[in-house]
Chain A
Amino acid sequence: QKEVEQNSGPLSVPEGAIASLNCTYSDRGSQSFFWYRQYSGKSPELIMFIYSNGDKEDGRFTAQLNKASQYVSLLIRDSQPSDSATYLCALGFSGGYNKLIFGAGTRLAVHP
């Protein structure tokens, strides 16, 4: 089992809809969780992080964390074509060194 699992997609949603991206993980010791967005041919950029159970909202983005069930999700409200990208889930490695463990990413396509 991979440490961080994501559906590779593509996840296709119409413009204006809510896109829901999910991620499950196996390291119960992880305390921090991140979502990176990566446009084709570009490097990943951090868009959200969450440390506590529950929801965290930032503009159109909401990160949700459930440590008991070991999943983290990202909701994008009012999806725009410019949101089309690959979204990488990452968790902070509990063994130190500030390492991140990345999932393979979910490709999101928002169509007009």
Chain B
Amino acid sequence: DVKVTQSSRYLVKRTGEKVFLECVQDMDHENMFWYRQDPGLGLRLIYFSYDVKMKEKGDIPEGYSVSREKKERFSLILESASTNQTSMYLCASINGGNSYEQYFGPGTRLTVT
């Protein structure tokens, strides 16, 4: 079974802090994704990566950056956390090729106060 893990289930940070969310997958997947999920808005893509050190902006990249130094690890960085970044953050991975079947991590519920 594919396993996608995220560094924290719950996180509370203060406004202005730099926040790191980490995601690790153990299936040698090519592509990894970061989403945020808010009530009524569904899943919105923040950033994704299709290879080591390669990244692409999603639909809502403002206020975020990412890092992918190793194939199995994809980090989401909130440069200066703000209260409107309070959300559920979900990481997903996929093998690439013709597959679109994304596997999700358990999610990190981030609260910025």
Q: How distant is the Cα of A86 from the Cα of B35 in the complex, in angstroms?
A: 17
A46 to B99, CA, bound (A): 13
Q: Contacts A97-B48, A98-B96, A99-B45 given; indicate if A46 touches B107 (C-beta within 8 A).
A: no
Number of interface residues of A (CB under 8 A): 19
Bound-state Cα–Cα, A8 to B41, Å: 10
A104 to B39, CA, bound (A): 8
- The answer to whether A88 touches B101 (Cβ under 8 A) is no
Counted as pairs of residues, one from A and one from B, with CB atoms less than 8 Å apart, the total is: 49
Bound form: Cα–Cα A38–B64 in Å: 25
Alpha-carbon gap, A100 to B105, bound state (A): 16
Q: Are A104 and B41 in contact (CB under 8 A)?
A: yes
B107→A98 contact, CB < 8 A: no
Q: Knowing that A97-B48, A99-B33, A102-B43 touch, tell me 5 more A-B residue pairs with CB under 8 angstroms.
A: A34-B101, A43-B104, A97-B31, A98-B102, A103-B42
Contact B106 A88 (CB under 8 A): no
A32 closest partner in B (C-beta):
B100
Closest partner residue, chain B, to A4 (CB atom): B42
A100 with B42: CB separation less than 8 A: no
CB of A88 within 8 A of CB of B102, answer no
Residues of A within 8 A of B102 (CB): 46, 98, 100
Chosen A-B contacts, 21 in total, with CB atoms closer than 8 Å, are: A8-B40, A42-B106, A43-B104, A43-B105, A44-B43, A44-B90, A45-B104, A46-B102, A49-B100, A49-B101, A88-B42, A88-B43, A97-B48, A97-B56, A98-B50, A98-B97, A98-B102, A99-B33, A99-B48, A102-B42, A105-B42
- What A residues does B40 contact at CB under 8 A? 8, 104
